[in-house]
Amino acid sequence: MPDAAFEPARPQVLLGLIGAGIQQSLTPAMHQEEGRHHGLRLHYQLIDLEKFGGSPADLPGLLNAARKMGFAGLNITYPCKQAVIALLDELSDEARAMGAVNTVVNRNGRLIGHNTDGSGWARGFRRALPDADLRCAVLLGAGGAGAAIAHAALRLGVGELRIVDADAERAAALALELNARCEGHRANACVTAEQALPGATGLIHATPTGMAKLPGLPLDAALLRADLWVSEVVYFPLETALLQAARALGCPISDGGGMAVGQALGAFELFTGCEADPARVERHFHHLLNLRESR
Instruction: State the residues that interact with ligand NAD by CB under 6 A.
Output: 117, 140-146, 164-167, 170, 206-209, 211, 218, 233-235, 256, 259-260, 263
**Nearest distance in Å: CB 3, ligand NAD:** 44
**Nearest distance in Å: CB 154, ligand NAD:** 17
**Nearest distance in Å: CB 98, ligand NAD:** 12
- In the complex with ligand NAD, the residue whose CB is nearer, 164 or 200, is 164
| Catalytic residue (choose from 51, 68, 81, 213) | 81
* Four-CA torsion 46, 84, 14, 273, nearest 10 degrees: 130
**Nearest distance in Å: CB 48, ligand NAD:** 16
Rounded to the nearest 10 degrees, the angle between the axes of helix 117-128 and helix 257-272 is 120
- How many angstroms separate the CA atoms of 171 and 31, rounded? 34
213 noted as active-site residue: no
CB atoms within 10 A of CB 233: 27
- In the complex with ligand NAD, the residue whose CB is nearer, 18 or 140, is 140
CB atoms within 10 A of CB 238: 17
- How many angstroms separate the CA atoms of 241 and 251, rounded? 14
SS3 sequence of 54-114: CCHHHHHHHHHHHHHCCCCEEEECCCCCCCCHHHCCEECHHHHHHCCCCEEEEECCEEEEE
- How many angstroms separate the CA atoms of 102 and 283, rounded? 23
**Nearest distance in Å: CB 147, ligand NAD:** 7
- In the complex with ligand NAD, the residue whose CB is nearer, 62 or 145, is 145
**Nearest distance in Å: CB 222, ligand NAD:** 15
Cβ-closest residue to ligand NAD? 143
- In the complex with ligand NAD, the residue whose CB is nearer, 160 or 232, is 232
Q: CB of 134 within 8 A of CB of 204?
A: no
- In the complex with ligand NAD, the residue whose CB is nearer, 74 or 206, is 206
SS3 sequence of 173-236: HHHHHHHHHCCCCCEEECCCHHHHCCCCCEEEECCCCCECCECCCCCCHHHCCCCCEEEECCCC
For 32-70, b where at least 16 C-beta lie within 10 A, e where not — what string?
A: bbbbeebebebebebbbbeeeebebebbeebbeebeeee
- In the complex with ligand NAD, the residue whose CB is nearer, 209 or 272, is 209
Residues acting as catalytic residues: 81
